[in-house]
Homo-oligomer: A and B are copies of this chain.
Amino acid sequence: MAIWLLLLFLLSPLLSSSTTTAKITHLFPSSIIHPEQLKISLATKTTNKLYKEKFYTQILDHFNYNPQSYHTFQQRYLINSKYWGGANNNSPIFVYTGNEGDIEWFAQNTGFMFETAPHFKALLVFIEHRFYGKSMPYGGNKVIAYSNSTTLGYLSSTQALADYATLIVDLKKNLTATDSPVVVFGGSYGGMLAAWFRLKYPHVAVGALASSAPILNFDNITSPFSFNNIITQDFRSESEKCYKVIKRSWQEIDETAAKPGGLEILRKSFRICKNYISAGSLKSWLGTAYVYTAMTDYPTPSNFLNPLPAYPVKQMCKAIDDPKTGNNTLEKLYGAANIYYNYTGDAKCFDLNDDSDPHGLGGWTWQACTEMILLTDGNTEESIFPASNYSYNDRLEFCKEKYNIEPRPSWVPMEFGAHHIHRVLKRFGSNIIFFNGLRDPWSGGGVLKDISKSVVAIVAKEGAHHVDLRFSTSEDPEWLKHARKREIHIISKWLSQYYRTLDDSP
């Protein structure tokens, strides 16, 4: 999830010299590792085999009845019926509740569903979130859809949930599979949606696997320092020295940049392309690498955000701690950055101005300006990033300037519930798994303790951002195998219980 949110808001302390607007402009992901090409190779490898692409005529506004609410758009979903036991057997339907990006990307990174489908004889459906990928209102025209707050206004989580409910109910009708149980899956923002979907639409889904879903990261329920504390801890757990090098490096970068010819030194040290450099953009580029590497600190090689080796935080620290680099901080940092930005070794230079968006995540800025007020930008004195307070006002100012709109920070906890969640859900609701990996900076906003017998937390000390949902590999550690096994076991229980109830009430 975090990509745009992070880029916009997490790293702001790294850019203390720039104005709010300048901050934003230079905070997009930077790399020249040809993400488009990566995407295509993945797509050709998998698309034809894994799923078919379909479209559903979706209503623009579910909650009002103004004439414009009746407008429709084509919502994309991906479907795989290879393993499905069929409507006659009431075989289950596994639905991925799409996040803030191209649904193919999420499907390709949710191997868990493909791998468990044969066991459950499940139909697989991945639904794209409105205003992302090909699911663009206004005739599929992204330029219009994203043009202003009047058109973007319909991009909201409640609308997305109602989209999913409507599509699922209609799809089941069309498949004459009205008695097939639906289980929803999602990771990150998609995991939040999955959990909320089970809570708001229990009549549509019998259960939800919400992976790395920071539903408590609102309204100060989770400390705004938690996110960066966890990143700090991730690096410290690998090497105290590594952590200290990074922690001290921000000042060194500023000092170097301030010297005559300093920017040129920095440019050369980090092989930055000739088009642009500033201390702020460099720090943001490095910060991005640390944040995303911590988030995707998987135990096996991966290619979610960028291609990465197994345990990439360890690898970064290895590069930093490399005795060959001596006391040369810049060389150390360059080694670390290379892990995240250039693991394939193809990069000739790095473009700090790169604002390509291969996974189509741009709409998140709007969501982060309206309802997704996940404050994560606090840094204590101990933080691996420069100490700083978190600031709702920075967000407010940015959003006013960008969209002339004011966030509604209390809306999400008000609508979906977050305060005292253990008290509330102890005797209400059922059948939700909250998976969290404690190395994931988002885990601080997750549900980490069982709430009831059937609203349970699976916590993996060694896990990162929705690692459980990824394709398995032969090198998966035991803790990961165990977490997935437990998830399968729990989902099986939901389904058997559903079938028993179905038999009881014909």
Contact = CB atoms under 8 A, between A and B. Distances in A.
B66 A64 contact: no
Contact of A201 (B410, B417, B418, B501): B417
A411 B62 contact: yes
A277 interface: no
A65 B497 contact: no
A169 to B, nearest CB: 6
Interface string A479-506: 0000000000000000001000110010
Given A423-B501, A426-B501, A429-B429, A159 B64 contact: yes
A427 B430 contact: yes
A502 B422 CA distance: 10
A405 interface: yes
Contact of A497 (B62, B366, B425, B427): B427
A86 interface: no
B414 A169 contact: yes
Given A61-B64, A415-B162, A203 B424 contact: yes
Of the candidates A165, A418, A420, the one having the most CB atoms from chain B within 10 angstroms of its own CB is A420
Interface in A428-468: 428-431, 454
Contacts of A39: none
A371 B162 CA distance: 15
Q: How many copies does the complex hold?
A: 2
Nearest to A154: B64
Interface residues of A, number: 59
Interface string A41-80: 0000000000000000000011111110110000000000
Interface stretch (A22-30, A145-153, A378-386): A145-153
A166 interface: yes
A370 interface: yes
Contacts of A152: 65
A348 interface: no
A168 B351 CA distance: 51
- Among A66, A159, A200, the most chain B Cβ lie within 10 Å of the Cβ of A66
A199 B199 CA distance: 8
A154 B69 CA distance: 10
A427 B496 CA distance: 13
Contacts of A426: 501
Contacts of A431: 427-428
Interface in A142-175: 149-150, 152-156, 158-159, 162, 165-166, 169
8 contacts: A63-B158, A63-B159, A65-B371, A202-B428, A203-B420, A427-B430, A427-B454, A428-B431
Interface of A: 61-67, 69-70, 149-150, 152-156, 158-159, 162, 165-166, 169, 199-204, 366, 370-371, 404-406, 408, 410-411, 414-415, 417-431, 454, 497, 501-502, 505
